[in-house]
Amino acid sequence: MKKNYPEKIFTGILVCILILLVLNILSYLDFYYNNLEQRDYFFRKTNFNLERNAPTIFSSSLHFTASILLAIIAFSKLSIKKVKSFWIFLSILILFIGLDELLVIHEKVGRAFGENVETSGIFFFAWVVPYGIALILIGLTLLKSLLKLPKKTRLNFIMAGAIFVSGAMVIEMFTGWYVEYNQLQNENLLRVPDTFILSTFEELFEMIGIGFFVYSILDFIREYKIKT
């Protein structure tokens, strides 16, 4: 396999993201200006803010790919991987996030959490509270092993995580505040241009983040020529 395959794969991922972005914008413009219903087929299958469609499947497939690659590293004979449990845990974590993307687990958690705790402002979407706490705990747990990675891999992993979390948590929290502040109704969120832009950036950051993570893992594999 050619030495520049991680870059080529990442370029392919970015092209796919660009195509999905264009379709997302076109379907929204069609939906908005022609006053279509939310069940419009093109809109449902391409909108970034809806589930179980092309963007969701693509994003989940990137997570599953990353999970498999992490598992390969975990069970390889490579000494530089340092702590085997780190790679196994990371593989399981990314697998869960991919399943969450497909099955919308976070929204179910949010509904259950919101029934017992009143949330508002940046915590308007209740799921960000338990997931935020989990993120901090997981980050602290993995920090020691992360710091043992080669410098390039460590920085790549941190950058990928920062990009992903910026979309999944930071923009989501701002969107929650914006929705509450402007008293927007749930049934109108898909039609309001402001929330469309926010949700587009949210999913865009998530896809670029996990795409760069896949690249980072492939770069690590290339650099250290993993053998199972």
pLDDT at 2: 64
What does the pLDDT average to over 106-113?
94
User: Rounded to the nearest 10 degrees, what angle do helices 193-224 and 54-74 cross at?
Assistant: 20
pLDDT digits (tens, 9 = 90+) for 24-48: 999 999 999 999 998 899 999 999 9
183: left (phi over 0), alpha (psi -120 to 50) or beta: left
SS3 state of residue 2: coil
Range of the domain at 142: 59-224
pTM: 0.94
Domain membership flag for residue 77: yes
The region that residue 121 occupies, defined by phi over 0 for left and psi between -120 and 50 for alpha, beta otherwise, is left
Average pLDDT, the chain: 94
Residue in the structure block whose two tokens are 């308007």: 124
Q: Establish if 4 belongs to a structural domain.
A: no
Q: Would residue 12 count as lying in a domain? A: no
**Domains contained in the chain, number:** 1
In a domain, 14, yes or no: no
d(CA 216, CA 177): 33
Confirm whether 183 is domain-assigned: yes
Distance (Å, whole) CA 175 – CA 198 = 7
Per-residue confidence (pLDDT) for residue 78, from 0 to 100: 74
Listed residue (75, 38, 68, 67) closest to 53, CA to CA: 38
pLDDT score for 100: 96
Residue 127, in any domain of the structure: yes
